[in-house]
Amino acid sequence: MIKEFKIDSVTLKNRYVEGPMAGFTDLAMRTLAFEHGASLAYTEMISANALAYGSSETLDMVKDTQKDIGPVALQLFGSEIPNIKKAIAIVETYGKYTFLDFNLGCPVPKVMKQNAGSHLLKDLDYLYTLMKTIVETSHHPVIAKTRLGFSNPEDIVNIVKTLEAAGVKAIAIHGRTRDEFYLGKPHYDSIAKAKEIATVPIIANGNIDVSNVDKVFAKVKPDAVMICRKALGHPTIFTDLLNHEEGKESVVDSFNNQKTLLLEHLRLEAESSHNPLKSALQMRAIAPTYFIDFPYARQMRTALVKCQTLSDYVAVLNGVVNPESLSGENNGRANV
Ligand SMILES: Cc1cc2nc3c(=O)[nH]c(=O)nc-3n(C[C@H](O)[C@H](O)[C@H](O)COP(=O)(O)O)c2cc1C
């Protein structure tokens, strides 16, 4: 029996969640995650300021959630309370989502300069005021995605207490501090300490996949786990995790399976695109990840990053009749 987990009064059908990735987890990628078993998927981070100032491109990200085929956490980022209040009114009018998530983890200078993302972990009094306002303004359950702290991983305990006091209903924790960016091993022990004192569900995040998920569940005892980079080019990771939970073998990737998945990703992207040129450029980062574990990854990347339109990708993929004809050492994990 696959275990479920619950946030507030909402039951999620399993404990495998696709986390937010700016530039990647758009409607197409979320749809693939749902098709392959994810119980919850996050939008990319959406700027509260941009919504408040009327950006139509940002509003499109919100409207896209109306077409999601599974439960969505819509993630906002920002720091200014008046703009965040305006943004919540906008997402409630134009979006369709299950949870309102707030970003407390983004480490990039562009976001930090706005006092947003992980900058908010520096002042827990302000964090409390901000999150309480969000909880009071939102008609959806509010959840948060945080790092362990700004510099000190031990700060997570006080961060969790602050978020709970403000009324947040679940917390996803990336097991690194802001200073660690994406480097080094995640501190699962610090997430475990947070879980010990938490009264709301904790979603563990950072370098999790089938190979270590048992260890993470055993050590951290999270309510669920969040997968991000390992889902890039590999939406079937959610099926793999579900199979693993039931003691079944994962399906070994084949070139043809990966090609079919990427063609589906391209089809979904074309169907939901607001700007075909932008979508084609975005796929330059996504398409090569489908072949990253294959011996001919470099050749596929070289061909795919030249694509100018979504149809170009389809032409490249359909042109590769025999993947063995692409030279390269067969030292990847995948079978052809
Ligand atoms: C390209 C990229 C974009 C990201 N964008 C976001 C974002 O929009 N919001 C957020 O909370 N975290 C974002 N993250 C952080 C991830 O959600 C996640 O916490 C981090 O990648 C660690 O998980 P992983 O090891 O499973 O990838 C991003 C990460 C990457 C690599």
The DSSP code for 254 is B
Q: In residues, how long is the chain?
A: 336
3 state DSSP class of 103: strand
Buried b / exposed e across 124-154, counting CB within 10 Å, b at 16+? beebeebbbbbbebbebbbbbbbbbbbeebe
Mark whether 228 is an active-site residue. no
Contact yes or no for 274/57 (Cβ under 8 A): yes
Contact yes or no for 68/34 (Cβ under 8 A): yes
Protein residues with CB under 6 Å of any ligand 1 atom: 19-24, 44-45, 75, 103, 105-106, 145, 174, 205-208, 227-230
Structurally, at CATH architecture level, domain 5-245 sits in Alpha-Beta Barrel (3.20)
Expressed in angstroms and rounded, the spacing between residue 285 Cα and the centre of ligand 1 is 15
Tell me how far apart the alpha carbons of residues 221 and 196 are, in angstroms, rounded to a whole number.
Answer: 9
Which pLDDT score is estimated for 321?
A: 59
Q: 227 pairs with which residues across the strands?
A: 18
pLDDT digits (tens, 9 = 90+) for 4-19: 999 999 999 999 999 9
Residue ranges in the chain modelled with pLDDT below 50: 327-336
Tell me how far apart the alpha carbons of residues 284 and 274 are, in angstroms, rounded to a whole number.
Answer: 17
3 state DSSP class of 153: helix
What type of residue sits at position 320?
V
Tell me how far apart the alpha carbons of residues 22 and 19 are, in angstroms, rounded to a whole number.
Answer: 10
In the chain, domain spans: 5-245, 255-325
pLDDT digits (tens, 9 = 90+) for 120-165: 999 999 999 999 999 999 999 999 999 999 999 999 999 999 999 9
Which pLDDT score is estimated for 250?
A: 81
Which pLDDT score is estimated for 323?
A: 61
Going by CA atoms, what residue is nearest to atom 17 of ligand 1?
20
Expressed in angstroms and rounded, the spacing between residue 276 Cα and the centre of ligand 1 is 24
- Predicted model pTM: 0.95
Going by CA atoms, what residue is nearest to atom 3 of ligand 1?
21
Which pLDDT score is estimated for 322?
A: 60
Q: What residues have CB less than 8 Å from 256, skipping those under 6 apart?
A: none
Q: What residues have CB less than 8 Å from 219, skipping those under 6 apart?
A: 188, 189, 192
- R_g (Cα) of the chain, nearest Å: 20
Nearest to 200 by CA among 246, 255, 251, 162: 162
Could you tell which of 24, 174, 232 is best to mutate to test the pocket of ligand 1, judged by most ligand atoms within 8 Å of the CB? Answer: 174
Which pLDDT score is estimated for 293?
A: 86
Atom of ligand 1 nearest to the CA of 186: 25
